[in-house]
Amino acid sequence: MQELPVRIEGFDISNLGGEHTVASMVVFEGGATKKSDYRRFRVRGEVARGDGPDDFASMEEVLGRRMNRYLEQVDLSPHDGKRDASFGALPSLIVIDGGKGQLAAGMRALRPFVERGVTVIGLAKRLEEVYVPGRSAPIDLPIDSEASKLLQRVRDEAHRFAIEHHRGRRDQAMTRSVIDGLKGVGPVRKRALLQHFGSPERFVAASREELEMVPGLPGKVAREIHEQLNRTG
By the 8 A CB rule, do 98 and 51 touch? no
Of 231, 226, 194, 228, the residue nearest 210 (C-alpha): 226
As a whole number of angstroms, the distance between CA 162 and CA 179 comes to 26
Q: 211: domain CATH number? A: 1.10.150.20
Start-end of H helices in the chain: 55-73, 100-109, 111-115, 146-180, 187-197, 200-204, 208-212, 219-232
Q: Give the DSSP H/E element, type plus range, for residue 1.
A: none
Domain co-membership, 138 together with 221: no
- pLDDT for the residue numbered 48: 43
- In this structure, the answer to whether residues 40 and 118 fall within a common structural domain is yes
Measured CA to CA, the distance from residue 66 to residue 224 in angstroms comes to: 47
For residue 156, what pLDDT is reported?
Answer: 92
Instruction: Confirm if 158 and 97 have CB atoms less than 8 A apart.
Output: yes
Q: How many CA atoms lie within 13 A of 106 on its CB side?
A: 29
Let me know whether 85 and 58 are in one domain.
Answer: yes
Q: What is the pLDDT along the chain (233 residues), one digit of tens a residue?
A: 455 568 999 999 887 555 567 889 999 999 899 999 999 888 876 544 444 558 899 999 999 999 999 999 999 998 898 899 899 999 999 999 999 999 999 999 999 999 999 999 999 987 889 999 999 899 988 888 999 999 999 999 998 888 876 555 555 555 556 676 677 778 888 778 878 887 776 777 788 888 888 888 888 888 888 888 776 44
Q: Are residues 46 and 149 in the same domain?
A: yes
Report yes or no: 159 and 13 within 8 Å, Cβ to Cβ: no
Residue 1's pLDDT is: 42
Interatomic CA distance for residues 96 and 158, integer angstroms: 9
Number of domains present in the structure of the chain: 2
**What are the φ and ψ backbone dihedral angles of 23, each rounded to 5 degrees?**
-140, 160
Are the C-beta atoms of residues 228 and 182 closer than 8 Å to each other? yes
Find the CATH number of the domain harbouring 33. 3.30.420.340
**Partners of 13 in beta bridges:** 23
**One domain for residues 19 and 130:** yes
Q: Does any domain span residue 1?
A: no
Question: Do 120 and 208 share a domain, yes or no?
Answer: no
Segments forming the whole domain that contains residue 15: 7-172
Q: How far apart are CA 165 and CA 30, in angstroms?
A: 25
The verdict on 137 and 163 lying in the same domain is: yes
Is 2 within the bounds of a domain? no
Domain boundary among 150, 172, 194: 172
Domain boundary residue, one of 126, 146, 172:
172
